[in-house]
Amino acid sequence: MIDDRLQASPARNLRLAARRGLAGRCPACGKGRLFRSYLKPVDSCASCGEDLSQIRADDGPAWLTILVVGHLVVALVLGIDSWAGWPLWQAMAFYPTLGLALCLALLPVSKGLFIGVIWAGEPAPA
């Protein structure tokens, strides 16, 4: 059974909302900030007033971040280790630090993407 609200409301632009979310901006207007702190989203957009309080990304951003960072770091370990021949202590210091830095950098970007995509999937107000 299809929800009547979905049929009656116009679709939101998924790509635009995803791009705005990736940039850490409101998926509706692209002007207001999406986060009030590192990973805490705002309740509503300061620019357009769009209510963002009901959007819950849950574990999606962490899953995506680990997926991307894991593949990058493993590829780097295999690629660098084959020609650099680093000592074990150097590799044990570098790769975890790189992985942690990439996770911390990508997590808010990933959360913004999820919030943008979830927002685009909601029915627009009539």
Residues that bind Zn ion (CB under 5 A): 26, 28-29, 32, 45, 47-48, 50
Write down the least CB distance from residue 56 to Zn ion, Å.
Answer: 18
Looking at beta carbons only, is 21 or 108 nearer to Zn ion? 21
Contacts of 10 (CB under 8 A, 6+ apart): 124
Write down the least CB distance from residue 29 to Zn ion, Å.
Answer: 3
| 122 backbone dihedrals φ, ψ, rounded to 5° | -75, 150
Looking at beta carbons only, is 50 or 64 nearer to Zn ion? 50
The alpha carbons of the chain give a radius of gyration, in whole angstroms, of: 19
Looking at beta carbons only, is 42 or 91 nearer to Zn ion? 42
CA distances from 26 to 39, 101, 113 (A): 14, 25, 11
Write down the least CB distance from residue 32 to Zn ion, Å.
Answer: 4
